Chains A and B, each alone.
Chain A
């Protein structure tokens, strides 16, 4: 057996390789995938660094389930509630897909906050990753806005009044607050256009923004690489070395005769007792 021929043997493998080659020659796909996925990462990368992907995965879940729900949902004040009853009680697996969308929304918010806490506690937002943090903060706002607009679509009493209160909180922001609230609810009060406006924002406006900013976020993550945890051995060694160098430099700068003298701290006063007294 020779080991030099390790390429694909079967026709399927050959076709697959040919297609990959075709795309790579024209679009640089292999280069892009290598750049994006085959990066060097710190040796002590752990499960904590998977929270961002988990949040993105819930976005995918919400997008797919939301697309199917939109096929049955009717964003009209007279039919919205009954169309949701129809989805839940009559359409095959409607209860399941609606439940995935509902609980996926909560899971997404939780994962986004855990991801943000990880980035904050690891100090991963520091130079040169400030822009990654900024795009993430914009994503957070958009995710919260998805929660607000999606909550109204259920169109029951709780959804209605919770959104009325949320809109009035928006309107109580100084100076521009009333305008923002008026634009969001399509008038100075809740009206038939409010529901379809929230529906459009929920399924067209914000998802487009989230997808765009996830792209920017991932580009920055890929370009800058990920940080190691603060307890990484390499980082600790580096910190210790930096501190030692800083101390050495400070000693060098101090004038002769005034150099810092490290004294052992006295634990108790020394008392001398002279004999004979």
Chain B
């Protein structure tokens, strides 16, 4: 605007108005106040302030969030807990033991089932909502006091709301010299007792979930089915 006025004045085309030289030429202002594309100093510094504030806030909030939640969602390390010699779990019995020690599974109750020549470690956490199941010797089955879930001798669901069988713990057997005689990972979940030294120590590892065919999968929380359409709701 100011520029065009100056041009007009120099050409002397403004009819009736003084067109000669002026004592003070109009200041040629380059104002970008009304140009939304142009980044003014004010805009730039405002952006710097907002970005700097965001960085500083993040520098406070990110460590807080990590401190509050990161360890909680971390997958626990594998730890082996010695639960005694093999001979303390005699053939034909299901013994109830409490895991103790430094493991994060300490205070878990485990049923060691030594039947049909196989050793199984069944966790007492109900697969429905995590209540402690009880072993009934008479019926050789597990029942949950909360919502009526019932499992057979192997921990497979026979009644009630549980969406999958009882979870199991990995087992490892170590002999007196400390050598690992054998270990059962997530493949079978049970271990043959044939030819085992009764003084060899039995160790419990991490728990894992099984489906109704006793095929092992990663550990699931209670209430999560491991097969079927609904298992896709729990991808992690």
**Given the complex of chains A and B, what is the CA–CA distance between A108 and B72 in angstroms?**
31
Grouping DSSP codes into helix (H, G, I), strand (E, B) and loop, the B interface class, with mixed when no group exceeds half, is loop
B23 at the interface (CB under 8 A from A): no
Cβ-defined contact, A182 with B72, below 8 A: yes
Nearest CB to that of B69 among chain A residues? A183
A168 within 8 A of partner (CB): yes
Within 8 A of B (CB), among A146-180: 161, 164-165, 167-169, 171-172, 174-175, 177-179
With A and B bound together, what is the CA distance between A36 and B223 in angstroms?
49
Contact B234 A178 (CB under 8 A): yes
- The answer to the question of A208 belonging to the interface, with a C-beta cut-off of 8 Å to chain B, is no
Point out the residues of chain A lying under 8 angstroms from B24, CB to CB: none
- When the two chains form their complex, are residues B235 and A186 in contact, meaning their CB atoms are under 8 A apart? no
A52, B131: Cα distance in complex, Å: 37
Specify which chain B residues have a CB less than 8 angstroms from the CB of A181 in the assembled complex. Answer: 221
Known: A164-B130, A181-B221. Is A175-B104 also a contact (CB below 8 A)?
Answer: no
Contact, CB under 8 Å: A182 / B73? yes
Judging by beta carbons under 8 Å apart, are B131 and A161 in contact? yes
A:176-210 near B, CB below 8 Å: 177-179, 181-183, 185-189, 191
Given A171-B222, A172-B223, A172-B224: A179 and B73 interface contact (C-beta under 8 Å): yes
Q: Please give me the residue from chain A that is nearest to B221 by CB atom.
A: A171
Which of B69, B76, B146, B221 sits near A178, CB closer than 8 Å? B221
Q: Say yes or no: is B236 at the interface (Cβ < 8 Å to chain A).
A: yes
* Chain A residues whose CB sits within 8 angstroms of the CB of B72 once the complex forms: 182-183, 185-187
B25 interfacial by beta-carbon distance below 8 Å? no
Q: In the complex, what's the smallest C-beta–C-beta distance from B217 to chain A, in angstroms?
A: 14
Interface residue from A165, A179, A191 paired with B130 (Cβ < 8 Å): A165
C-alpha spacing A189/B219, complex, angstroms: 12
CA gap between A165 and B131 in the complex, in Å: 7
B184 within 8 A of A: no
Query: B219 contacts which chain A residues (CB < 8 A)?
Result: 188
Partner of B234 from A164, A175, A185, A187 at Cβ < 8 Å? A175
Residues of chain A at the chain B interface (Cβ within 8 Å): 161, 164-165, 167-169, 171-172, 174-175, 177-179, 181-183, 185-189, 191
Q: Which residues of B pack against A, CB within 8 Å? A: 68-69, 71-73, 76, 104-105, 108, 129-132, 146, 219, 221-224, 233-236
- List 29 A–B pairs whose Cβ atoms lie within 8 Å, in order of A's numbering: A161-B131, A164-B131, A165-B146, A167-B130, A168-B222, A169-B223, A171-B221, A171-B223, A171-B224, A172-B129, A172-B222, A172-B223, A172-B224, A174-B233, A175-B233, A175-B234, A175-B235, A178-B221, A178-B224, A178-B234, A179-B73, A181-B221, A182-B73, A186-B71, A187-B72, A187-B76, A188-B76, A188-B221, A189-B104
